[in-house]
């Protein structure tokens, strides 16, 4: 997640041991059965955005096969001509929870990451590029991670902390490869990260946060007051429970405790390609949205995470709700998601002014064509949603 979430303190959870034994799981996507099909056109529309320190809105997306960036000075009513970050079209992982990521530094720097597939199925490498001239040009892309095996390095997340350090986290399968060589079982993949202290000129790592992550779900990053980050991801708790875990990654490469964060008890041996989002309110409470396919619970949920479990958990939208995102300003919470009504994909939102105790539901937009996943933005206390659709590219909807 791009670093647009307010940082505040929150208590550490009690440590939850994940165990080490378990079956190796497939990479297949868990189908929800009633949603709009996720075709290639929709995958290519997944985009992200960020407001820079001057209030300019920047979007990263695919443009005719290129990784591209555009800027808007009027909240998305108009966009600049795309600047191509890659010198030529190249295959990139853009489906489901994958998309080009963009983050902004306090000095006007722009950073991008994306995943480029490798020759073997389900493999990839995390690419990085930066602009130090206000988005006029971008550096040649480079691989973030030190490990260069032809394995899974995918589902990258990008953030810049208040000190200007650049964090990149991703899903990595090197440990499964090693366990396979030793004829030992290994659940899922692992979460790794790297850090840059020089505005992206170099990265140090690779640092491991946790074994046994799910293989194909995005990682949510949220800055803490000391410049470290909370990371929230789908985990594989023994033997095959795909709920979420919370951990801490630091600038010095030290990993904090890893604890269980959601308790839906979803037992499945495939990856749903459906990761969480995380934000914090002015009291330091952690708010999250996530998806579960647990029997009797199938759908998207919101809740406040704390030591004893989840407070205020509630379902979001209907049976076809998917890929929710959230942001917080003070005690005001905004959640956006899309769902398919049988004919159109609808962009919907929930708004709370009291830290998630009461809610107002909003219908924001709809499209009959392909669309990407919504991305919630925060600027000067106001909420906006980027929704990249085939009929209205890089549409920005402001919440009332």
pLDDT by residue (tens digit) across 236-261? 999 999 999 999 999 999 999 999 99
Closest CA to 331 of 8, 47, 68: 8
Question: Quick one: how far is CA 307 from the chain centroid?
Answer: 23
Length of the chain, please?
A: 400
* CA distance linking residue 211 with residue 209, whole number of Å: 7
Cβ–Cβ under 8 Å, residues 278 and 287:
yes
Q: Which CATH number fits domain 43-398: 1.20.1530.20, 2.120.10.10, 1.10.3720.10, 3.40.50.720?
A: 2.120.10.10
Q: Which residue is it, tokens 């006029």?
A: 136
* CA distance linking residue 219 with residue 15, whole number of Å: 20
Two structure tokens written together for 391 = 């009929």
Given this model, what pLDDT does residue 180 score? 65
Please list the ranges in the chain whose pLDDT falls under 50.
1-34, 37
The secondary structure of residue 42, as a DSSP letter, is: H
Two structure tokens written together for 285 = 């409470």
Cis peptide before 239 (omega within 30 of 0): yes
pLDDT by residue (tens digit) across 104-153? 999 999 999 999 999 999 999 999 999 999 999 999 999 999 999 999 99
Given this model, what pLDDT does residue 61 score? 96
* CA distance linking residue 396 with residue 400, whole number of Å: 13
Outline where the chain has alpha helix (H).
40-43, 174-181
Given this model, what pLDDT does residue 131 score? 98
* CA distance linking residue 42 with residue 94, whole number of Å: 9
Q: Say what percent of the chain tops pLDDT 70.
A: 88
* CA distance linking residue 19 with residue 206, whole number of Å: 23
Question: Dihedral of CA 112/118/124/126: which sign?
Answer: negative
Read off the pTM: 0.90
Two structure tokens written together for 20 = 């080490």
Given this model, what pLDDT does residue 57 score? 98
For the beta sheet containing 48-51, the strands, ordered from the edge strand earlier in sequence to the opposite edge, are 48-51, 57-63, 66-72, 83-84
Closest CA to 245 of 8, 3, 19, 2: 19
């Amino acid at each position: 997640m791009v670093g647009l979430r307010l940082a505040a303190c929150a208590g550490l959870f009690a440590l939850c041991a994940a165990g080490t034994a378990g079956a190796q799981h497939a990479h297949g996507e868990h189908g929800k059965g009633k949603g709009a099909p996720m075709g290639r056109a929709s995958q290519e529309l997944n985009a992200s955005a960020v407001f820079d320190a001057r209030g300019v809105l920047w979007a990263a997306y695919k443009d005719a096969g290129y990784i591209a960036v555009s800027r808007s000075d009027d909240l998305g009513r108009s966009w600049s001509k795309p600047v191509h970050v890659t010198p030529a079209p190249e295959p990139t992982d853009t489906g489901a929870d994958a998309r080009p990521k963009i983050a902004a530094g306090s000095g006007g720097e722009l950073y991008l990451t994306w995943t480029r597939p490798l020759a073997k199925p389900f493999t990839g490498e995390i690419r990085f590029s930066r602009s130090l001239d206000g988005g006029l040009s971008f550096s040649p892309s480079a691989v973030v991670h030190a490990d260069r095996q032809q394995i899974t390095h995918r589902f990258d997340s990008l953030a810049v902390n208040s000190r200007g350090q650049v964090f990149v986290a991703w899903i990595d399968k090197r440990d499964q490869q090693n366990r396979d060589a030793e004829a030992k079982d290994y659940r899922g993949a692992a979460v790794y990260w790297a850090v840059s202290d020089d505005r992206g000129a170099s990265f140090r790592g690779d640092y491991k946060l946790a074994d046994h992550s799910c293989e194909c779900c995005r990682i949510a990053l949220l800055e803490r007051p000391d410049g470290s980050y909370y990371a929230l991801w789908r985990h594989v708790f023994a033997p095959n429970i795909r709920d979420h875990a919370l951990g801490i990654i630091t600038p010095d490469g030290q990993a904090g405790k890893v604890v269980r964060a959601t308790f839906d008890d979803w037992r499945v041996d495939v990856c749903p390609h459906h990761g969480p989002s995380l934000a914090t309110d002015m009291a330091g409470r952690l708010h999250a949205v996530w998806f579960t396919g647990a029997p009797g619970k199938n759908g998207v949920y919101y809740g406040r995470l704390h030591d004893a479990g989840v407070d205020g958990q509630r379902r979001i939208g209907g049976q076809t709700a998917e890929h929710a995102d959230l942001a917080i300003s003070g005690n005001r919470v905004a959640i956006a998601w899309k769902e398919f009504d049988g004919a159109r994909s609808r962009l919907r939102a929930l708004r709370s002014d009291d830290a998630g105790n009461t809610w107002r539901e909003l219908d924001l937009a709809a499209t009959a064509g392909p669309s990407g996943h919504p991305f919630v933005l925060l600027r000067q206390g106001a909420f906006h949603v980027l929704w990249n659709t085939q009929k209205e590219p890089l549409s920005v909807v402001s919440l009332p």
